[in-house]
Chain A
Amino acid sequence: MSKIHVTTTINGDEVEFLCDPRETMLDVLRDRLGLTGAKEGCGTGDCGACSVTVDDRLVCSCLMLGAEAEGKEIATVEGIATEEKLHPLQKRFIEYAALQCGVCTPGILVAAKNLLERNPDPTETEVRYWLAGNLCRCTGYDKIIRAVMDTAAEMREAS
C-alpha cells in the first residue's frame, strides 16, 4: 500500500509527511509529527478532544484524513501560546481550574479560541452550544464556561 506525500502548514511552519491513505489527520499529528497535544478520546467526532482548525475552520482531526491536509493551514493547541506567553484563555483556564484532568483541555482551548475570533462577545448559551462537541467529564463545564466568558470580556477590554 503506497503512502501519500503531503505538504501542509502546521502552526505556521511548513511540514511534509508521508501517510497511509487510512491515517487521519490526528494520527499524523500524533504519531508522525510528534504533536500529541490533540487527543483521541473517541475517534468518531463525538468528543472534540482532537479539535484543530483547518484554514481557520474548527474541525475534529479524527474526522479528516491526513491526505486532506495538502495545501491547508492547520493550527493545533501547540500553536496557541506565543513563545513563552500564554494566550489569555490559557491563563484563565489555569487560574479558574477550568481543567481537572486536562485531557479535554487542548480541544476546548482550540475551540474556544476559534469562537472568540469569530464572536468576541458570546452569550453563555452561545459558549455552551459552541463547546457542546467538546466533552469534559471532570468539571461539569461551570468553570470552563466562566473562563471563556471572562477571557472574552478581558480581551474586549484590551482591544
Chain B
Amino acid sequence: MALDSQKTDGFKQVGTRPDRPDGVDKVTGRARFGADMTAPGMLWGAIVRSPHAHARIVKIDTSKAEAMDGVKAVVTRADFSTSVAPARGMRGEMWNTLENVMAGETALYDGHAVAAVAATSALAARDAMKAIEVEYEVLPHVTDVDKAMAEDAPVIRADTAEASVPEGMHPNVVRYHESGHGDLGAGFAEADLVVEEHFVTEATHQGYIEPHACLATLGGDGKGELWCCTQGHWNVQKVCAALLDLETSQLRVTASEIGGGFGGKTTVFIEPVALALSRKANKPVKVVMTRSEVFRASGPTASTSMDIRIGMKKDGTITAASGVFRCQGGAFPGAPMEFTAMCAFAPYNLKNVSQIGYDVMTNRPKQAAYRAPGSPMAAFAVESVIDELCNKLDLDTIDTRLKNASKEGTQASFGPKWDRIGLVETLEAAKAHPHYSEPLKPGQGRGISCGFWFNHGGETAVSLALSEDGTAQLAVGTPDIGGSRASMAMMAAEELGIPYENVRCTVVDTASLGYNEISHGSRVTYASGLATIKAARDAVKKLCARAAAKWGIPEDAVKWEDGCAVPSGPNAGEHDPMPLAKITAKMGATGGPIVGHFEATPEGAGVSFATHIVDAEVDQETGKTSVSRYTVVQDAGKAIHPTYVEGQFQGGAAQGIGWALNEEYVYGDDGRLQNATFLDYRIPVASDLPMIDTVIVEVPNPGHPYGVRGVGETSICPPLAAIANAVSNAAGVRLTQLPMSPPRILRALGTHD
C-alpha cells in the first residue's frame, strides 16, 4: 500500500551528488578499519586451522605453545558456551555458528578453526599457533554438491535434515523447498519448443579487500567491548553473547569502517574467538585474518547444480517452466536454495511453473550471504535457456522477455501478486539504449539477461538530535558499506530543510540505539533511509510544537517549510517564519533537547529488477574471453545519491564478470582448497574491464516515503547469464558451466577433451 505521504519530486537534496562525509578520512588514510585499532596492553591472536577436509579431533596439545615467551592464553571449544544446543536445519543456527567459529569434536573443512592463541606480538602469536599440536583421525570427505547427494557419500552430520526433506534423500540433504503453480504437463504440451539443460556453478567468494579483523576486550566481570568490521554489529553482539554465555547488553560492539562485505561480513568468525582469548588473558586481544584464512574459513557463496526446462511458443510466449536447484553451502545447513528457486523465474509471468530446491552439506566452509544470495546462479541457468529458445525460434531477446514480463498485478512464480515493479521499464530502457542496437564486430557476441532480488526491510532504529546551533546529528545503526551516510544525511537535510553539510551522520555503537538489523538485503537506503525520514519528521513535529508554544497557537496550526516553522491555517495568525536554528538556540529553556526517533521494522522494501547488456569476444584458439562493452539498466525506485547508485550497479556488474569468467573455489582430491590467494582466486583487475555504463530507472517503491528501492544486490543477478549468453553467441556453442574459464570454453568448442 502506498504511503500517503510519498514524495517523488520537488526535491532539494535528493538526486544531487554531494561529497560523502567520510570522504576525506578515506583518501587520507585516516579512516579506521577493522585492523586499524589498538588498545593499551593489547595482545595478538592467531587461530589454528584444520588442514583436513574432514577429521575427528583426537587430541589438542597446547603445552608447547603455552610454554613459549609472550604467550598469554590458549582457547579451544571448551572455552565457549556449553548451553547452545544443536537442532535440525536453521533452527540450530546458533549452534552451527558456534561449531563453525571453533570446531567441536570434528573438523568439517579445510580451514576449520580448532584452537587459538594470544601472545604479545603478531609474530609470537603465529609462532605459538604453529606449536599447537593437533592429532586428527582423517575421515572420508565430499566437496561436490552432486556427489554429496549420492548414496555412498560420507555423512557430514546425521540428523540435521528438516522434516520437509523428502524420504529417501541422503542425510546431507538438510532442507527442501518447493513452490510454483499451474499444470506443467499441460504447459509443456502447449509449447512449440522445449529446451532442457543442466547447469553448474562453482562457489565464489565475496572477495572484500579487507580481511576480517577485530579487537576484543572481555573481563571476568562479563563486561566486554568489541571493535570489528562487520555489516551488522547488533547481530555480532547477540551472537557473541550467546556463544560466550554473556548478557547481551554487557557487550558493547562498535562497527569499524568496513572494507567491503557484500554479505560476507553478516556473521561472526573471529570475534567470539578474540573475546574468549581476551577473557582468558584478561587483556585486549586483536585478531586479524590472513587472506588465506579469509578464503579457507569465511563464507563463500554456494556452488550449484541445476536443471532447467522451459517451453515456448513460436511467438515467444513461455508456456511452462521448471527448475531443480541443488545448492551446497558447506558443512552446515543454510545454502540459499530457496532464494535460488524463488528468484529463478521471478521476471516472468508464468501460468505453469515449478521450482524445487535442495540444501546440501559438504566438507567446505560454511557459506555466507553473497550479494543477492542464490539469485545470480538461478538467473544464469534460466536466462541461458531463454536465450537458447530465442536463438532457436529466431526471436528478439528483449521483445521476448517483454512479452512474458512480470508486472504489477501478475502472479510471481513463488506465489504473491506483484506490487508496482519496474521490470518492463528496464527492458524498454535497455532496448532503447544505443548499446542494444550497436552492430557487433566480428568475433563478438551479445548477451542480455534480466535479474531479480527481493530486497529487505528489517529492524531499524534511528535517532536525530538537533544541536543548539541548528545542525543535526543523525545516529544510524547500519554500517556504511557504500556511501550510505551521505544518503542518510541528504534525506535528513531534505526533511529538515537545512543544508546537507549541517547534518552529521554517524554509525553508532550498540549502546547508542535500539537493535538494528545487519546492512544486508539492500536494506540500508530503504530502511535506515525511511527511519531517517521518519525520525526527521518526528523532530520537525517537536520543532513545530516549540514554535506553537512560543506563538501561543495550537501545534496543528504550525507547519514546516524550508527549514522554518510557519503558521498554517486560518486561525494561526500572523507570525514570521521561525528558522530551525532559532528554535534550537532556545530549546534548553523551552522544553529541553529536541530529538527525533524512529524504531520499527519496515516491510515495504519493494523488489528490484535489472536488465544487463554485454558484448564479449572469445579468442577461439585459447578460449580467452574479454568483455568489450557493458551496460547496466536497473530500477532504483528513487536514486537518492545517483553517483552511489551507479557505483552499486557497476560494482555488481564487475563482480558478476569475475564470477562468470574466472572466479571459483578449486578443491583438490584431498578436499583442500587449492587457490586461497588473490593470485589464484582471480577477481577482475582494472585492465580486465571496460567502462560500465549505467541507466538508472526510477519506478517508485510504494513502500518508501521517497520511493527508494534497494540497489546493491540486484546488480549482480543478471551478469552471469548476460555474459554466458554473450560468450555462447560469440563462440557459437552454449556454455553451461561457470566460470567460463578458457579450458572450459575450449572444451565446449571441441578443441580438445
Contact = CB atoms under 8 A, between A and B. Distances in A.
B686 A145 contact: yes
A135 interface: yes
A110 to B, nearest CB: 9
Given A35-B29, A76-B29, A102 B259 contact: yes
Q: Give the dominant DSSP class at A's interface.
A: loop
Interface string B327-361: 00000000000000000000000000000000000
Contacts of A131: 686-687
What are the 5 A-B residue pairs with the smallest beta carbon separation, nearest first? Answer: A37-B29, A103-B259, A140-B654, A102-B26, A94-B23
Interface stretch (B148-156, B215-223, B642-650, B721-729): B642-650
B723 to A, nearest CB: 14
Contacts of A97: 20, 483, 643-644, 646-647
Contacts, number: 185
Contact of A137 (B33, B257, B262, B653): B262
B654 A93 contact: no
B455 interface: no
B24 A86 contact: yes
A144 interface: yes
A141 interface: yes
B207 interface: yes
B259 A22 contact: no
Contacts of B208: 101, 103, 137
A99 B650 CA distance: 12
Contacts of A102: 22, 25-27, 31, 257, 259
B209 A135 contact: yes
A101 B259 contact: yes
Contact of B685 (A36, A77, A100, A135): A135
Nearest to A104: B209
Contacts of A105: 26-27
Interface string A102-134: 111110010000000000000001011101111
Contacts of B207: 137
B242 interface: no
26 contacts: A31-B122, A38-B29, A39-B35, A39-B209, A41-B211, A41-B259, A42-B291, A42-B678, A46-B678, A47-B291, A76-B29, A80-B28, A81-B27, A81-B28, A95-B19, A99-B27, A100-B482, A101-B481, A105-B26, A106-B27, A132-B685, A132-B686, A138-B482, A139-B654, A141-B686, A145-B686
A134 B206 CA distance: 17
Interface residues on A, range: 35 or more
Given A31-B122, A44-B678, A137 B685 contact: no
B655 interface: yes
B28 A78 contact: yes
Interface in B628-686: 643-644, 646-647, 650-651, 653-655, 677-679, 683-686
B197 interface: no
A99 B26 contact: yes
B703 to A, nearest CB: 25
Given A42-B677, A101-B258, A139 B209 contact: no
A109 B643 CA distance: 20
